[in-house]
Structures are given as structure tokens and as C-alpha cells.
Amino acid sequence: MEPQLPTIKNVFVNETDDDDRPALSSHALAALKEFLEEQRQSPANHETAENGEGTLEPESEVDLVTEDWRLSQFWYDPETARTLSQEVLSLCSHSNCKVACIACPTLYAYLKKIDPNISVQLLEYDKRFEQYGSDFTFYDYNQPKDLPLELKHTYQVVIADPPYLSKECLEKVTQTISFLAQPQESHLLLLTGEVQRDRAAELLGLRACNFWPRHSSKLGNEFRVFTNYDPGERLGGWEQQ
């Protein structure tokens, strides 16, 4: 069964409305049409390169499938993807570290490009990502714990980017995070809208970092990264309370 689509990331959910079908504002629809037109007119650049330290340089260094806005897919821009990847790698201090990426295929692709040996599992609804083989697990947030038992309490690092800005979606993704995360010593990163700040704190005990993620499609929403650990100077550090 396909998941119910309450809204995409740059459209808020009206949780008091009986009709919860997805709807775009006229402004959001115009922005979306402009972006899709730019995609059609821009030739793809698939060249890759590395600098002396092994950090990826050019803007199109990682190949990704085309965003499907109907699934609320909006890929991170290269700077955001590199910054998040370096953060995850800094948390993986030993070779047995396992990482779970919930609905963030951009991050998965960059992690594997920078370090092909890192153990990363991508949980994603879009079956186009079955191309990643055993690294792919089908995931529908409406069934948050309908996952293989071998994934339970396995991951030291869990990154989640819930597809929708609704209370229901975040609550269900929180259940998935709890299912995947190794008890006690796990690092959690949540990428979602600023409007979810209070819920992120309430559900997962997370705080906002000063680093502001961005998307290639230039979403209008203020997007944030929240963590359950103090990143120090990385990610700009925690915001002062």
C-alpha cells in the first residue's frame, strides 16, 4: 500500500482538516514548475574528482536519480551533503561502526563515494534505490517498525530526514529511530524543518545546530539539523539556549 501523502516539505500540514490530501499553494506550485523546467533545460554533469585529501570537489560529483516531488524528494546541495558526510565519518571512530540513513539517499550516496568501505543502510520508500543492493531496505514510515529483525538496535549512527512536516510523520519516524539505534551509545541526527524544533526536543531530546542544511531545489522552508550529542565546533556547534 502506498503511503498517505499529507504534504511535501515546503507545504505545511493542516492537521485539523478532514481532507488530508496533498495540496500545494500557488506559490509553491510555481516554484516547483520553475525548478522542473530548469532540470529539463540543464545538461547533466557527471564528472567526478577528488582533492589531495580525498574530499569531493565539483558540484556534480555524485550521481543521483531525479527527484520525485510526489514522494517529497529534495536532494541536499553538494556543500550540505559533504558537511553531513564528514560529520557522520567523524562519529565512526572504529571499523565496526554501522550507519542508518532514513529517507536521505543523498547522504548515503555521498558517504559511499567518500568512503566505499563504510557500512551504511539506506531505508527508503522509492524502489529505484534497489540499485544499491543489500544496502537498500524498503521503508514506509506508515509501518515504522515493519523492518527486518537483523536491523534492530544495530546502528551507532542514525540519520533521519522525515519526508513530511507533520506531527504524525515525525512520531512514526521516531519509532523507527528507536528500532534501529543501538541502545545507550548511539548518535542521532534529524534533518527537518525549523517548525519541528519543539517536537524534536520532546520526542528525541534533540537540539538544533548552527549549521543550516540546504537543498539543490532551494526549498522555502527553514531547514535544520538536530542532534542528541554536542558536536563541538562541527556543524557550527549547538545553538545557545
Residue 222 lies in a domain: yes
Domain of 231?
Answer: 76-235
Count of residues making up the chain: 241
In a domain, 2, yes or no: no
On whether residue 66 sits in a domain, the answer given is no
CATH number at residue 190: 3.40.50.150
d(CA 114, CA 150): 26
In the chain, where does DSSP find H-type helix?
26-41, 78-91, 105-114, 167-180, 197-204
Within a domain: 194: yes
| Residues 85-138 pLDDT 10s | 999 999 998 878 999 999 999 999 999 999 999 999 999 999 999 999 999 999
Q: What is the pLDDT of residues 10-44, one digit of tens each?
A: 434 444 444 444 455 565 556 556 655 554 544 33
**89/99 Cα distance (integer angstroms):** 10
Could you tell me if residue 152 is inside a domain? Answer: yes
- Which of the two residues, 219 and 108, has the higher pLDDT score? 108
The answer to whether residue 201 sits within a structural domain is yes
DSSP 134-186: GGEEE--TTSTT-S-GGGTT-BSEEEE--SS-SHHHHHHHHHHHHHHBPSSS-
The count of structural domains within the chain is 1
For residues 167 and 194, give the distance between their C-alpha atoms in angstroms, rounded to a whole number: 13
**What's the pLDDT at 24?**
53
